A and B are shown apart, each in its own frame.
Chain A
Amino acid sequence: MADKPSDLVQGTLDMLILKTLALEPMHGYGIAVRLEQMSKGVFRLNAGSLFVAFQRLQRDGLIRSEWKATENSRRAKYYALTEQGRKRLNSETREWGRQVAAIARILEAS
């Protein structure tokens, strides 16, 4: 299981889900596919970690969910970003940028 979520940097899965939802509301499978596409196959997500993350984000009030019909007229639970989620995404993106820059500086220095 080389694609275990622990391969992601701790805590980044939440941020990536939020980023994915920033464009439009999406169902679970859509999120998984979008993440894989955007990462060009680097991340392959296990359903377990994905749905645990959904539950966590929803309880934290960062996303909300709604049952809707898909384009293939199948019922699916769609997740959407809340206002609070949008704020969190912004702040986390900024923080992430800062940290990556800092880590890069350290790695280059040595």
Chain B
Amino acid sequence: MSLLRGITGGLRSLFRKERVGRELDEELNSFLEMAAEEKVRQGMSRKDALRAVRLERGNLEVTKEVVRSAGWESFVETLWQDLRHGQRILRKSPGFAVVAVLTLALGIGATSAIFSVVNAVLLRPLAMEDPSHVVFVQETWRDIFPGVAVGNFVDLKRQSTSFAELCASNDASFNLEARELPERVDGEIATANYFTTFGVQPIAGRVFTADEDKPGQPHVVVISERLWRAKLHSDPSIVGQPIRINGLPTTVLGVMPRSFDPLLSSSDLWVPAAFSAGQLADHDNHYLNVMARLKPGTSQAQAQSELNVIAQWLQKQYPIDDQDRGFRLQPLATALLGDQRLGLRMMLAAVGFLLLIACANIANLQLARSRTRQKEIAMRAAVGASPNRIVRQLLAENVVLGLAGGVVGVLLAYWAVAWIIAHGPAEMPRLDQSRIDASTLAFAWAVALLSSLLFGLAPALRSASTHLSEVFKSSSGISGGSRDRVRSLLVVGEVSLALILMAGAGLLIRSALLVSHLDPGFDTSNVVVGRVGLPDPGYHDPALARQTFERMITATSALPGVKSVAVVSRAPLAGGGSSNGLLAEGKPFDMANLVNSQLQIISPSYLSTARVPLKAGRDFTPQDARDRTLVTIVNETLARTMWPGENPIGKRFACCEAGPKGRVDPVWHEVVGVVADVRAWGLDRQVQPEFYIPLAQMPASAWDWIGRTMDLVVRTRSGAVPIHELQNTVASVAAVPIYRLSTMQQKISSTLERSHFDTFLLAIFASTALLLSSVGIYGVLSYMVAQRTRDIGIRMALGASQAQIVWDVLGFGLRLAGIGLAVGLAAALAATRLLSSLLYGVRPTDAVTFAAVSFILLVVALIASYLPARRATRVDPLVALRYE
């Protein structure tokens, strides 16, 4: 109540200033009159009485001021005055104001833009009910974290008590026939409680029930709002209608809202997992995404310890499949976004440094100005401004700068965010949701105010504490002789921050250069790759599936401009792949003896089409059929891992399928060739052991592992890519789409997109930082030369050579840079260690990089120091001495 009255009272005096002032006048006057009357009654003359009252009660004008300034509104009023005054002062030195506002805008803009990305990608909660209770479950095996086997999921669900819901899904893609050409749509197979786990309701219709999530039920699907709008013409009566998915009519049950993307995988449709009895008992294939909602009051640690107990039980129960297996529980947000943290934090730190450098520069400029403004300020103090008020006034001037910088900075940030969304790595989830929203604006506002205090406080305090007598005593143009320590410190700080950024950027650039010179292991020029998936219902028969792909190869080979065509289960850089434990012949069957290796199923023409160099033995031929000796080709890494120092040709290993006598009955494959390592997971990734088996010899069940989906690899004669012909040819052989169609070189650059983006941004930040700190060095030296004009003149008059003068100034600049360099190097050595996971082939303490950035920094510092130094030599001793 009284707070409200305080505010309204204050507002009243702010906005009805005159009336309130009049009232106060009147009240004080009547006070004066009454007091005087009293004195007159006691016998004084009226004039004496008035003077006596003033003496006793204080000057009424002063009283008015005191009363007025006691309310909070007077603070607002003087603040407003100060801000207007600051703005007037700044308008008088437009050069300084423009430089300062732009410098600041750069810092605030970069910081706000990166903040809005961090906010969108990392900070915003996932779009689901109470996301903090949703966890992601993975298996742990040796040092990898595979998905969960269906059998293990079933046991987990049966035995655990920590979870309100426990659901599973697997990424899948589907052929959708809704428009002229069949299209490929990404989606998931999911258990019925998938939607309730995330607590999200459909915007139309319903989700599937537990009964519908069983084999043999009619085909149903839940679709995304995006799919509904983009591909189904926003059909209002879609619920209950059939659409054709994988060649089968499938009833649409419901539509999920646009925001529903719990795994950030942009899924467009969900079909029931409907695990078969065989799948439910399978503990060998580890691929499910498992998500759970913790029961209220159950902590993640409690759930984890329960999972540990269940894992031990599973190890005993299924000693072959679940040996050494455990479970790992993570908050869902960590599991989905954990990879993004390091890079984004690095960016945030980088722009933070940039902002600090910008602030240091403006503080430096302000300090220089405060010297020249000493007299003005002293004058104000002399006519009665309190130090408090002077500090406030100077701070207000900086706040005006800060706010102007903030406004321009936000404009910059708008542009920068649009640029980042357009050019940022596609793989970064939620990046497209970055925008300058209320929280970014609040952030920018806070940063602007904070930085104006940061760069304004030191100069303001310095000015306010100057003693009047000193200012008026000292004549113009002579410095106290002491080099300005605060300004030097600021420059040293700037240089060291810049060096840290440069070291980080330098390491990333060197790493990117090394990666770009790596040999991918095959000829990437003139190769086009696209995926083709055959639907299970129409192509269940393995022979039919194989023949369809073979016909596709033949038909595509006939296209003009095509040199050769092949299929492979996973083309290099396509991501994914299946891992198999291989047992070399002669070793006892034991988990410890298995070599984990990637399987590639290829048509005989693949190695020659991709031009993977054959290092020993022979390539596959069409004669390698299922009824002949089972053969395989291994990469050099596998050969080295399995048979170190031996010739692998003719050796055998067991893999991929079980013989007639059960799971431990080996089926042997004979090594007929060794090929070069292909960097199949990205140029900057470790090469894995890899082996190839011919399409004609693959086990029937392998069609299920690869989802009847293969990459069609087309080598063309020239760069021209027959995209449309390719689509038509594939559709004419089997009515399915070819998708993720791109050249091999595009695929390579897309895997490097993220690291190039990081490198590019950091390089920009580092060069801006270098520029700003060189401006800082230049500023301090120019100022020093200007202040010491008379000293220099005297020295020259006494016979100092130009070289000595130049060296004096240069030496000081280089000393500042040198100290900054040393501090920066020490800090950078500690900081770059955090980058190690982003680097390839470069150690975070790489001497070459550190030497190079130090050299660049010193050269730039030299240039920045040379300009003022040259100006020093132009000092005319006569003019300098006459300066007084």
Interface residues of A, Cβ cutoff 8 Å to B: 27-30, 32-33, 44-49, 51-52, 55-56, 58-61, 70, 72, 74-77
Contacts and interface: CB of A to CB of B under 8 A. Distances in A.
Interface string B35-64: 101100000000000000000111010110
Interface stretch (B66-74, B180-188, B559-567): B66-74
A18 B70 CA distance: 19
Contacts of B58: 46-48
B28 to A, nearest CB: 7
For the complex of A and B, list the 10 residue pairs with the smallest distance between their C-beta atoms, beginning with the closest: A48-B66, A29-B34, A48-B63, A47-B57, A52-B70, A59-B6, A61-B2, A59-B9, A51-B67, A47-B63
30 contacts: A27-B31, A27-B34, A29-B31, A32-B31, A33-B38, A44-B56, A45-B57, A46-B58, A47-B58, A47-B60, A47-B63, A48-B58, A48-B62, A48-B63, A48-B66, A48-B67, A51-B67, A52-B70, A55-B70, A58-B5, A58-B9, A60-B2, A60-B6, A61-B1, A61-B5, A76-B27, A77-B23, A77-B26, A77-B27, A77-B30
Given A44-B56, A46-B58, A59-B9, A74 B70 contact: no
B30 A60 contact: no
B33 interface: yes
A58 B67 CA distance: 13
B27 A28 contact: yes
B9 A51 contact: no
- Of the four ranges (under 10, 10 to 19, 20 to 34, 35 or more), the interface on chain B belongs to 20 to 34
A61 to B, nearest CB: 5
B70 A56 contact: yes
Interface of B: 1-2, 5-6, 9-10, 23-24, 26-28, 30-31, 33-35, 37-38, 56-58, 60, 62-63, 66-67, 70-71
Given A27-B34, A55-B9, 17 more contacts: A28-B30, A29-B30, A29-B34, A33-B38, A47-B31, A48-B58, A51-B67, A59-B2, A59-B10, A60-B2, A72-B37, A74-B30, A74-B33, A75-B26, A76-B34, A77-B23, A77-B30
A74 B519 CA distance: 102
A95 B60 CA distance: 34
Interface residues of B, dominant DSSP = helix
A49 B37 CA distance: 22
A74 B31 CA distance: 11
Contacts of A70: 34
A32 B38 CA distance: 13
B34 A55 contact: no
Contacts of A44: 56
A106 to B, nearest CB: 34
Contacts of B34: 27, 29-30, 70, 74, 76
Contacts of A75: 26, 30
Counting chain B CB atoms within 10 Å of each CB, the highest count among A45, A61, A72 belongs to A61
Contacts of B60: 47
A77 B37 CA distance: 17
A72 B34 CA distance: 10
A52 B67 contact: yes
Given A46-B57, A61-B2, A27 B63 contact: no
B147 to A, nearest CB: 67
B38 to A, nearest CB: 8
A87 to B, nearest CB: 13
A101 B30 CA distance: 40
Nearest to A44: B56
Counting chain B CB atoms within 10 Å of each CB, the highest count among A44, A49, A59 belongs to A59
A19 B564 CA distance: 106
A91 B246 CA distance: 83
Contacts of A28: 27, 30-31
Contacts of B71: 55, 59
A76 B37 CA distance: 14
Contacts of A56: 70
A21 to B, nearest CB: 16
A110 B492 CA distance: 60
Contacts of A27: 30-31, 34
Nearest to A76: B30
Contacts of A49: 66
